[in-house]
Amino acid sequence: MLNIIVCIKQVPMVSELPWNSKTGTLKRELAQGMMDPASRRALEAALQIKEKQAAHICAITMGPALAEEILHQAKALGADEGVLLTDRQMAGADTFLTSHILAKCIQKECKTFDLILCGAQTSDSETAQVGPQLAEELKIPAIGYVNCVEVKENIIEVQRHVDDFFEILNMDLPGLITIDLSAYKPRYLALGGVETAFEKPDIKTVSAGELGFDKDFSALKDSPTRIIDVFSPTTQKENRVLKGAVKKVVDQLFDDYGKVISSAMGKDLKTHEHDEA
């Protein structure tokens, strides 16, 4: 039996949300939550493995109490159990502490795992750091941005799209992979699944104390990285009309915008190189 852990995060359903300017975190209580799309694809990859061979899927999420909703959803889709890591002491965790707490939970609650699946990056914070950092914490190998997974006894074979080519890689288990957002189209939730999920909830709640953190621990204070500011980028547009003979206009274009055009093209254009053409 293959023991699979899928890390899923609850994210806000809308992208434009007010921020808490003091803590630099989203006021997520103002939005309805949903399963992060990349996490949902990681779950889909696990479900497809389970369709081919005996497997047990444990979905883990760390978040506010309301994040329990996505564990019910994961169960309705086919996960066997859910673990909810929730505690005020864990609130405001950066990716470093999130990975550390997830690792502690895995070591305590699901020691005998074979494969951990994460989304490559979330739709709200999108750092893409949790998967690789979690592998580092657990001292297991990891492969990121995977498009396709095949389990072959004690190894997995994965395919991923890199630049203009595909890579096929093997990795020993236990190991961790992160699933690319373009892969594994998620399945629809069947009504039968919802019924099963509510008949047998099988969701365990774990607190900071249960993982061995003392009462002075505060993820917000103890996180080594802090959000200093959050703002929308400003863009400036300028419309100019260049008039005159073609050569004069092109010369002017290169004089005014040559450096910008070169860096956008990734090519070192010689000034007036058009003269030679």
Ligand X SMILES: Cc1cc2nc3c(=O)[nH]c(=O)nc-3n(C[C@H](O)[C@H](O)[C@H](O)COP(=O)(O)OP(=O)(O)OC[C@H]3O[C@@H](n4cnc5c(N)ncnc54)[C@H](O)[C@@H]3O)c2cc1C
Residues near ligand X (CB under 6 A) are 7-9, 25-26, 28, 36, 38-39, 42, 60-64, 86, 90-91, 93-95, 98, 118-119, 121-122, 124-131
- Based on CB atoms, which residue is closest to ligand X, 18 or 154? 18
Please, what is the minimum distance in Å from the beta carbon of residue 41 to ligand X? 8
Count other Cβ atoms within 10 Å, centred on residue 19: 14
Please, what is the minimum distance in Å from the beta carbon of residue 189 to ligand X? 19
How far does the chain reach from its first CA to its final CA, in angstroms? 67
Please, what is the minimum distance in Å from the beta carbon of residue 2 to ligand X? 18
> Distance (Å, rounded) from C-alpha 19 to C-alpha 92?
13
Contacts by 109-113 with C-beta closer than 8 Å and gap 24+?
A: 109/58, 109/60, 109/83, 109/204, 109/206, 110/3, 110/5, 110/58, 110/60, 110/83, 112/3, 113/3, 113/4, 113/5, 113/58, 113/174
Are the beta carbons of 59 and 80 closer than 8 angstroms? no
Are the beta carbons of 160 and 143 closer than 8 angstroms? yes
Please, what is the minimum distance in Å from the beta carbon of residue 23 to ligand X? 8
- Based on CB atoms, which residue is closest to ligand X, 227 or 250? 227
- Based on CB atoms, which residue is closest to ligand X, 76 or 86? 86
- Based on CB atoms, which residue is closest to ligand X, 113 or 254? 113
Please, what is the minimum distance in Å from the beta carbon of residue 34 to ligand X? 13
Nearest to ligand X by Cβ — which residue? 119
Please, what is the minimum distance in Å from the beta carbon of residue 235 to ligand X? 24
> Distance (Å, rounded) from C-alpha 199 to C-alpha 179?
30
Residues whose CB falls within 8 Å of the CB of residue 61, separated by 6 or more in sequence, listed in order: 7, 8, 9, 10, 67, 70, 71, 82, 83, 84, 85
Please, what is the minimum distance in Å from the beta carbon of residue 249 to ligand X? 46
- Based on CB atoms, which residue is closest to ligand X, 50 or 274? 50
Q: What DSSP designation does 245 have?
A: -
Count other Cβ atoms within 10 Å, centred on residue 11: 26
- Based on CB atoms, which residue is closest to ligand X, 10 or 173? 10
- Based on CB atoms, which residue is closest to ligand X, 74 or 151? 74
> Distance (Å, rounded) from C-alpha 163 to C-alpha 47?
28
